[in-house]
Amino acid sequence: MHQSDPILFGQPIDFYVKWAATVFALVTVYLTSHDFVPINKYFGILTAFLWLWLGILWKQPSMWLLNIIMLVMYLSGIILA
């Protein structure tokens, strides 16, 4: 953690984002495995966006690439469906 990292209730903001992203990822998997369409795609978009944000915060290009591709796939699935 750097001195300039935003703090919320004693934790850096990425602490909350990573847990929210994890919960949304699990919700996405649940919705997909039980054929809740298209809501699963919207949760997938939110999940990918949050993990992309974390990848940017953590300076992890592999996370950028993975989640940009996931965003494109989810969005194309919504637009073309």
Per residue in 21-65, pLDDT (tens digit) is 999 999 999 999 999 999 999 999 999 999 999 999 999 999 999
* Model pLDDT, residue 49: 98
Domain ranges of the chain: 10-80
- Give the Cα separation of 45 and 75 in Å (integer): 7
Residue 16 has pLDDT above 60, yes or no: yes
- Give the Cα separation of 6 and 62 in Å (integer): 24
Residue 2 has pLDDT above 70, yes or no: no
* Model pLDDT, residue 3: 53
Q: Where are the beta strands (DSSP E) in the chain?
A: 7-8, 11-12
Whether the Cβ atoms of residue 48 and residue 71 lie closer than 8 Å to each other: yes
Tokens read off for 53 = 């944000």
